[in-house]
Structure 1
Amino acid sequence: MASGFTLPGLGWDGGRAADFTAHSDSGRLAGRVARVDKSACTVLTEQGELRVEYGDEVPCVGDWVAVRLGAPGTDPRLDAVLPRRTAIVRGGVGRGSRSGLSGDSSGHVLAANVDVVYIAEPAAPECDLGRIERLLALAWESGAQPVVLITKADLATALPELLDAVTAAAPGADVHPVSSLEGTGLEPVRLPAGRTAVLLGPSGAGKSTLVNALAGAPVMDTQQVRAADGRGRHTTTHRELHVLDGGGLVIDTPGLRRIGLTDDAAEGLAQTFADIEELAADCRFADCAHDAEPGCAVLAAVESGDLPERRLVSWHKLRREAAWMAGRGDARLRAEQTRKWKVIHKEMRRTGRNRP
C-alpha cells in the first residue's frame, strides 16, 4: 500500500469529521483500519500506513479510528473507534471484533462502514442459490447495498438461465456476470473514489482474482482452479482493505464456511424474500405461516409455479434459524440478569443492607 493517503479518498466526509470532533482537539490522528491482527492493526492515515496497538476495544477492518501518537520510539495506540454506519455481522460464531453498529449485538463483525456488499457466487461447478439468499440477508441487514456477482461466468454452460434464476432469488439487488480472467463484466463493479465494497462468498469463488482485476495489479495471491472438480482453492486468510488505483476501496475476506444469522435478522430476511412478503399480503390470515393454512397465497403461488418451492423452503429454514438465535439471545439476557441479581443479593447480605 502507498503512503500519504487522503482522508476523502478513504471515504471521509462531513459526518466523519463531526464524529471525530471530540478527538481532534486532543491531538489525535484520524485513520481507517485496513487489517486487524492480534493486539495490533494496520491503519491508513494522512501520515501513511501505521501499525497501531489496541486494547480491550477490538477494531474491525473498515472502521474509522482515532489514533494517539506516542512519544518518539513508542508505537501509536488506538484511542477510539468512531461510530459505524454499516456493519456486516455474522452470527453463530465466537467472540471477535465488537459487534454491530453500537457494540451490543451478538455476532462477529466481518467488515464495517461499507457502501456495497458484493456477494461472489461462482458459476461453476455449481451456483448455490440458498447461499446467495443467506448472504443477502446479512447484506440487507447491514444497511449496505447488496450486489450479486456471478464469478467465473466464462465457465457457465447456460449463463442466461443461471442469471434468471439468481435474479429471481435476489429481488432488489443487481446481478452481474463477471469473468476476472477474461476481464469482462468489470465496469459495473468498479467504484468511485471514497466508496467502499466488501466481497463475501465461499472459498474458491474468485474473490482475490477479482480484487486483482479491479486493482489492475496483483495485490492478492491467487490459486489455480483444481482440475479434478473445477473448484477454486482457498487463498485469502485474513480480511484486508485495499485502496484501488483510480478510486474506490474493497475489502477482501476469507471464504465463509459458516454463515450464521444474528438474533436481529428480521428486516434482512424481509428484504431478501420481498417476493414472499408481497404474496403474503393476500393470505387469508394475517399470521399465516405459509405451511398448510387454507387461503395461503404463498402456497398457491408455489402450486401454480409462480414461486419456486425451493425458495419457500429456504425462507422457512432461515426464519427458523433467526428465531432460534433470537431465543438464544433472550436466554442469555435472562441468565445475565440472574447472575447480576445474585451478586447484588450476596453483597446486600454481606453488608447487612437488607436488615431493618
Structure 2
Amino acid sequence: MDLLALGWTADRVAQLPPGCEPGRVLRVDRGRLTVRAADGERRVHPAAGLHGAAAPAVGDWVALRGELAVGFLPRRSAFTRTAAGRTSAAQVVAANVDVVLVVDALIGEARVRRIERYLAVAWSSGAAPAVVLTKADLCDDVTAAVEQVTEDAIGVPVLPVSSVTAEGLDAVRELFGPGRTAAMVGPSGVGKSSLANALAGRPVAGTRGIREDGRGRHTTTARELHLLPGGGLLVDTPGMRELGLHDDADGVAQAYADVEGFAAECRYRDCEHRTEPGCAVAAAIDDGLLDPARITAWRKLQGEARHQLLRVDARARAEERKRLRALHRTMRERPYRTR
C-alpha cells in the first residue's frame, strides 16, 4: 500500500520514533485499532499510555512496533466536540482531515441554526468546512433551500446532492482528491451513510429509514475511514444528536463573521448589542442586513464556548473571578448607590 494514498507526507518521517513504522487509523473499537500500513491492514493494540483522552482517533497516524501502537504523530487538524453527557472532556471525532463536510438534508425541519453550530466546530478543527445538502431529489425547490443556507454559511461552499440520482456527487469529490481526507459530520437521518456509499461506489455503510417520529436512526455505529475510488479518503461518523462546543470561540467568530464584523464597528468595545447607543449590530438588524434569529444563535454559541472554557481552563476561571470582583467593587463604590 502506497502510504501517500493514505495522506502520508515526507515531513512526518522525522516524527516517527526509532524502529517504528507508520500506520493510519481506520477504525477504533473495543479498545483495539484497525490500521492501514505499508504492508496492508492489521489490528493492533494501543500501548498502555494511549487510552482515555490520550487515545488515538480515526485518521490519526500511529507509530507501530509489530502489533503494538506505541504513540501517535502530531495532528494537523481535529474535529473535536465535548463528549456527550455531564462532562467537559474533549472527544476527537476525526483527526488529520483536510475538509469537514457538514451534512444535512433538504427535507424535514429547518436546518440553518443546526448547520451554524456544526460550522462553528468545523472552523475550529483546522480543516476547511463545506456544507452538503442531501436528498435533493426529494426537495421541491432546491435553489431556494440552498440560497437560505448560503446566506448564513459565510465563506463556505454549499452543495446540493442526491445519492439516488448522483446529482452533485462530482462537486463533492472535487473537494478532496488523492491523499486528502474529508470527514462527514451531522445528525442522524440526513443521509450520511447513503452519501458515503454513493461516493465510494459500493456499500461501505448500512442505511435505514427515518423513525416514525421523524427523527433519524443511527446507521453508522463507529467512525471509519474509507479509501475512495480516485484516491480521496472519507471518514464516516455516527449521527450526533448532541454537539457540544469545546472551547470554540474562534470557530464561532468565523461561523458568524458577518456579525463579528458589525460588532467591531460598535461605538463601545463592551457593547452587548442590545440597546446601547452606537451599536452597529442593532443598526444592521434595523436595516435588514442581519437576521435577529442569527444574532440570538450567535449569543448562545458564544455563551456555550465561554462556559466550556471556564470549565476546562483554570486561568480563564481565575480571570472571570477577577472580572466579577472588579465589577462588584465598582458597583459598591458608585456614589448614587441606594443605601
Shorter-normalised TM range? 0.7 to 0.9
CA contact 2:106–2:135 (8 Å) conserved in 1:
yes
Normalising by structure 1, what TM-score? 0.83
Partner residue of 1:177 out of 148, 160, 164: 160
CA distance in 2, matches of 1:6, 1:281: 49
Residue aligned with 1:291, SS: coil
1:18 aligned residue:
14
CA distance in 1, matches of 2:130, 2:152: 12
2:233 aligned residue:
249
Structure 1 residue runs of 5 or longer lacking an equivalent are: 70-75, 97-104, 336-356
**TM superposition shift of 1:61:** 0.2
Partner residue of 1:299 out of 262, 267, 282: 282
1:84 aligned residue:
75
Structure 2 residue runs of 5 or longer lacking an equivalent are: 319-339
Alignment of 1:108-127 (within 5 A): 108-127=91-110
**TM superposition shift of 1:174:** 0.6
1:264-318 per-residue CA deviation (whole Å, 9 max, x = no partner) reads x111111000001111222111222212211111111112221111100100100
CA contact 1:124–1:230 (8 Å) conserved in 2:
no
| Count of residues in Structure 1 that have an aligned counterpart in Structure 2 | 311
Alignment of 1:115-154 (within 5 A): 115-154=98-137
**TM superposition shift of 1:330:** 3.4
**TM superposition shift of 1:205:** 0.9
**TM superposition shift of 1:185:** 0.4
Residue aligned with 2:304, SS: helix
CA distance in 1, matches of 2:285, 2:150: 18
CA contact 2:310–2:317 (8 Å) conserved in 1:
no
CA distance in 1, matches of 2:114, 2:283: 25
Letter in 2 for 1:183: A
Residue aligned with 1:294, SS: coil
**TM superposition shift of 1:95:** 10
1:157 aligned residue:
140
CA distance in 2, matches of 1:221, 1:118: 19
1:216 counterpart = 2:201: yes
Instruction: Choose 132-141 or 87-96, whichever is displaced more.
Output: 87-96
1:129-180 per-residue CA deviation (whole Å, 9 max, x = no partner) reads 1111111111100110000011111222322221111111110111100111
Normalising by structure 2, what TM-score? 0.87
Alignment of 1:4-83 (within 5 A): 5-20=1-16, 23=17, 25-26=18-19, 28-54=20-46, 55-57=48-50, 58-69=55-66, 76-83=67-74
Partner residue of 1:200 out of 165, 178, 185: 185
**TM superposition shift of 1:252:** 0.4
1:167 counterpart = 2:150: yes
Residues 284/132 of structure 1: CA separation in 2 closer, same or farther (3 Å cut): same
Residue aligned with 1:148, SS: strand
Residue aligned with 2:25, SS: strand
**TM superposition shift of 1:127:** 3.5
CA distance in 1, matches of 2:136, 2:216: 14
CA contact 2:33–2:45 (8 Å) conserved in 1:
yes
CA distance in 1, matches of 2:313, 2:62: 32
1:57-108 per-residue CA deviation (whole Å, 9 max, x = no partner) reads 1110000011111xxxxxx011110000001110253699xxxxxxxx9411
CA contact 1:243–1:249 (8 Å) conserved in 2:
yes
1:261 aligned residue:
245
CA distance in 2, matches of 1:295, 1:147: 35
